[in-house]
Chains A and B, each alone.
Chain A
Amino acid sequence: MERIEPSRRDFINYAMWGTMGVIAIFGFYPVAKYLVPPTKRNTGKQNLGNLNLAEGESKKVVYGEMPVLIIKTPNKLVAYNAFCTHLNCIVNWDKQSGKIKCPCHGGVYDCDGNVVAGPPPKPLAKVAVLQNDKGEVLLGE
């Protein structure tokens, strides 16, 4: 008798592989979603108290899980996400040169967070900071 393509056996094979494929796709979705944890809510405003920073001095604090570099420049108080925009090393304030320097790959930023030298592709991310009438430093929005 002439064999008709696809045969019953072929059909069962296709159905088996197809079912496994569908199970894999449907299984992948919850696994992928499970692996992405929920986004944490904004840490909100953090009162750091009176830091007593003299001009040209800096302090590092942790805001949520982010290290923040606060610098007292001649005109104002500035704060940056301390992760270098090159490869996430934590930057330092160099009082002598008045520059922010990365200890890993030699990135240098000015006190406005702009790249002056080295490999960082963009300026440091600014973090909202203000000083109230009592001299307390408030970080974040």
Chain B
Amino acid sequence: MKKFFDQRLGLSEIKAACKRYLKEPVPKHINWWFTLGFLALSIFFIEIISGTLLAVYYKPTMAEAHNSVRDITYALRFGWLIRSIHYWGAQLMVITIILHMARVYFYAGYKKPRELTWVVGICLLILVMAFAFTGYLLPMDQLSYTATNVGIGISQSVPFIGNYVEKLLKGGEYISDFTLGRFYVMHILILPAALIALVLLHLFLIRRHGISTLEDVDVEEKMGHKNIMENDGIPFHPNHTVKEITAILIMLALLVTIATLIPKGLSAKADLTMEATHIKPEWYFLWQYQFLKYFTKDVMPAVGDYGKYVGIVATGILILLALLLPFIDRAKGRRAERRKFAVFVGILAIIFFASLTLLGYVADREFKMLGARYSFDNYGVPHLEK
């Protein structure tokens, strides 16, 4: 029997290839930070499984979407757990990918010949954001309706193609059954297919070029990655596989704990006549939500009536800068002491995004600090309450 399948499927060859891959040397410096990519991929599989289970009961129409999510959450056995794992898994996936990206940046893993690996990685981050955006509408509660409207409004503001993108996303003038159908198809078919294709490309590129060493770009090129690894590398298995398996187990424990202790609830069904309160997006879109607020005549008189468009273009430029990073930073050094300016820019970028996220969080809220009550205005500036 074994022989039958081996002859037809080449199982022994596959096994030998896997053994060879596992023994391949990797740079000595790889540590826990290098488990993040595989961790993100593992969470993606959890999302596929939990998403498939949710799709069994979900009904993508304006009339039934909210009710079906309510039934999944409150009527089905373990429905709350599966939905919470899907929700918190998405949150963990975004965190993991952002940390993975930061690791690649600070270890200069994007430099020649790994420029395309970085570009594909940024595209993957954008896809994950698209996943979050399309998934957010599906419960059709008040928050998801408004957040989607704002998101589509942002895409509509993109110069030249904005109106077409808006029509394509909405399938009409307003959010309707057409919109929900499109978002559902994107969320469960188009985006997963695109993500799997890009992940395969990302993995192919990682296999082709190996994990970046800490040598300068020209040194690695001259000596050859393979030679450096043979002289100074450590076997992938068990040195790194143990770390990756441990990281996955910790992540699983964390995910189930959070999903159990903080189950994802469901707010009221979308009602367009309801009094809208200060609606904010999910934490990973908060920086952009706050960023756009400053592109107004009041803050930047120069933008005039075009603040909305300038803000969107500025966001686009930030994304483009991230995408083109390997082609902008052509310096050869990889060690932190050889690229102090790049490290400084990286820290600055973290402060920039973290500050905007924090400002977005506190804006239009009141907080008690050091015995006094402060109310934060729309721009996140605190005012002492009397």
Q: Which residues of A come within 8 Å of B, CB atoms? A: 35-37, 39-40, 59-62, 64-67, 82-83, 86-92, 103-106, 117-122
Contact = CB atoms under 8 A, between A and B. Distances in A.
Contact of A67 (B152, B273, B306, B364): B273
Given A66-B173, A87-B308, 6 more contacts: A37-B171, A86-B153, A88-B149, A104-B146, A105-B378, A119-B308
A103 B167 contact: no
B171 A121 contact: no
B292 interface: yes
Contact of A119 (B146, B293, B364): B293
A122 B289 CA distance: 20
Nearest to B152: A88
Given A36-B167, A118-B298, A86 B308 contact: yes
Contact of B306 (A35, A61, A66, A121): A121
B153 A65 contact: no
A103 B153 contact: no
Interface stretch (B53-61, B201-209, B276-284): B276-284
B157 interface: yes
A2 to B, nearest CB: 41
A87 B153 contact: yes
Contacts of A89: 146, 149-150, 153, 276, 279
Nearest to A102: B276
Given A86-B308, A87-B308, A88-B152, A119 B296 contact: yes
A61 B271 CA distance: 10
A119 to B, nearest CB: 4
- Give the size range of B's interface with the partner: 35 or more
Contacts of A66: 173-174
Name the residue in B175, B272, B274, B305 with the highest tally of chain A Cβ atoms < 10 Å from its Cβ.
Answer: B272
A64 B173 CA distance: 11
Most buried by A among B149, B154, B305, B364: B149
Interface of B: 146, 149-150, 152-154, 156-157, 167-168, 171-176, 178, 272-279, 289, 292-293, 295-296, 298, 305-309, 311, 364, 378-379
B276 A65 contact: no
A59 B156 CA distance: 28
A64 B157 CA distance: 24
B292 A87 contact: yes
B273 A103 contact: no
A88 to B, nearest CB: 4
Given A67-B273, A119-B295, A36 B153 contact: no
Nearest to A62: B272
B129 to A, nearest CB: 17
> Interface centre among A36, A40, A82, A87, by most B CB within 10 Å?
A87
28 contacts: A35-B168, A35-B171, A36-B167, A64-B174, A66-B174, A67-B272, A82-B272, A86-B308, A87-B153, A87-B154, A87-B157, A88-B153, A88-B156, A89-B153, A103-B277, A103-B278, A104-B146, A104-B150, A105-B292, A105-B293, A106-B378, A118-B298, A118-B378, A119-B293, A119-B296, A119-B311, A121-B305, A121-B309
Given A104-B150, A105-B378, A119-B296, A90 B276 contact: yes
Nearest to A106: B378
A121 B308 contact: yes
Pairs A-B, 6 closest by C-beta atoms = A87-B153, A106-B378, A67-B272, A65-B174, A88-B153, A60-B273
Contacts of B295: 119
A116 to B, nearest CB: 11
A36 B171 contact: yes
